[in-house]
With several copies, the nearest count.
Chain A
Amino acid sequence: MNAYREDFPFFKAHPDIVYFDNAATTQKPATVIQALIDYYSNDNASVHRSTYTLAQQATDQYEQVRTKVANFIGARDANQILFTKGTTEGLNWIAQGVCRHFLQPGDEIVLSVMEHHSNLVVWQQLANTLDLKLRYIKLTDQQTLDLADAQQKITTKTKVLAITGVSNVLGSSNPICKLSKLIHAVNGLLIVDGAQMVPTMPVDVSQLQIDCLAFSGHKLFGPTGIGVLYATPALLDVLPPAEFGGEMIDQVSLTTTSFQPAPYKFEAGTQNVAGVIGLGAAIDYIQTIGMDKIHAEEQMLGQYLAEQLSNITNVSIYGPADRDSGIVAFNVDQLHAHDVATFLDSNQICVRAGTHCAQPLVNMLEVNATLRASLAFYNSFEECDQLVTAIKAAKEFFSYA
């Protein structure tokens, strides 16, 4: 068993569960849960608005996490960190802001065919409304991003490249550094969906020259309902807020309003303060391990699982041969993913079956659905073996018909 497992109350409550659905949501270390307990039991007060000592302490804690997040992703300035509800909200804000305020009819937005609905539907809706053009980078035969195609699709008409750092189905990472050069050569913006990337590998937005990065706390071993949107000062200065309300305001009369500077102008109303505190504790926790270590562990687990699964006859594995994360999508020939998932569930193995909020990609794989095991650093080789054994048993069970 993996020693990190000890840090997670969930695994104490479920010693026998094989939790392989980490790409959907991760478990939380005891320190994150404790941070929430401490916040609500000792420190809960109104942030930014009230002047008493308790409120000041809550505000300080809240703002310290902003700095912590900035350091974690290599942002130059804490004011480039906005707190959101999650990746989806961050991508929606930035897509709405960029499309409505920078783009002209006919401008092109490049995505990849492997995007999660959160980085696809909003662009599609805006493209339809504003008469923008969407272009999709294809996959190679090895199911990696086709860089030659990317070079073709990214032209002087391209204003935005919005792409995931790591695919939540294929498990592969995209070459953000190369893509950054391509899109910046045509003066476009690089927007990265970091939902799967940030939890699995070190990310340095300054070094990669990422213009916007969105990710979720709940996939980063932190609480639900909290996420981060990073953006360059150039964008934050000109983008209007997506929501209006308390705290973001400078002055209001009955007819006019002026706003605070970023990040506050984007954080309308009372924020998820406990969520922010919990996210800070999650970052503290993963930094005691180190993102390099986490990446190495998850790569190794993903590679091992993919190899073991591919040794079973009639199992198809998706994604490139070299695994870069703990995400492994697969199918058992003749069996539907949902039936297999139910069988695995009866063996206490939690995997996901379906289209993983990436219907276009799954259709491209020419299946209705896939199974997906997504492993985190707290998973183990033994658990991989359990999955393999259970898949073999499933084949037996269903063929018995």
Chain B
Amino acid sequence: MPDLRHLYQTIMLENAQHPQHSGILTGAKVKKITVHNPTCGDELVLSGVIEHSRLISIAQHSEGCIISRASASIMTELVLENSLDQIQVLAAMFVSLINGHNLANQELLQQAMIFSGVGQFPMRTKCALLPWQALVELVEGDKQ
């Protein structure tokens, strides 16, 4: 079994403890997606506002493990103000990262690179991916 310190890096623990963009947005323009992980009972509510194909506002409310909470926190910070096209690229890159592939432009993922160790814990990959799954659902309707 790989070293746990490689999985649970300090930035991850910090983000889980002090999540960024925490909460649920309200308002007429807000889109809201709820996803969950049936094996562990975790739930995540992602809310955002999209205007002119750009994510102009986002918040996440995450009840889950360190990995999923940290992933939600880091993701929201990373994707805010991005265009929907950019978001889809990032989401695809993140999935590749978790699946253990080498990434060409890994700097684009910024802090989300700390999840590179999760692939070695296959039972936990769902946790890291859950917020991104919600994000893809959130932006999907608004892309042609």
Contacts and interface: CB of A to CB of B under 8 A. Distances in A.
Interface of A: 48-53, 55-56, 60, 249-251, 260, 336-339, 342-343, 345-346, 348, 353-355, 359, 362-363, 368-369, 397-398, 400-401
B28 interface: no
Nearest to A394: B4
Contacts, number: 78
Contact of B40 (A48, A60, A369): A369
A365 B43 CA distance: 16
B97 to A, nearest CB: 19
6 nearest A-B residue pairs (beta carbon): A401-B13, A336-B65, A51-B123, A338-B65, A368-B41, A355-B41
22 contacts: A48-B39, A53-B123, A55-B123, A250-B36, A250-B38, A260-B38, A336-B66, A338-B42, A338-B65, A342-B4, A346-B4, A354-B39, A355-B38, A355-B40, A359-B41, A363-B41, A368-B40, A369-B40, A369-B42, A398-B13, A401-B10, A401-B16
Given A355-B41, A369-B42, A56 B123 contact: yes
A397 B4 contact: yes
Interface of B: 1, 4, 7-8, 10, 13-14, 16-17, 36, 38-43, 63-67, 121-124, 127
Contact of B8 (A49, A251, A398): A398
Given A368-B63, A398-B13, A342 B40 contact: no
Nearest to A60: B122
B39 A342 contact: no
Nearest to A399: B13
A53 B1 contact: yes
A362 B36 CA distance: 15
Contacts of A337: 40, 65
A368 B64 contact: yes
A251 B38 contact: yes
Given A50-B123, A355-B41, 4 more contacts: A250-B38, A342-B124, A368-B41, A368-B43
Contact of A345 (B1, B14, B38): B1
A50 B65 CA distance: 15
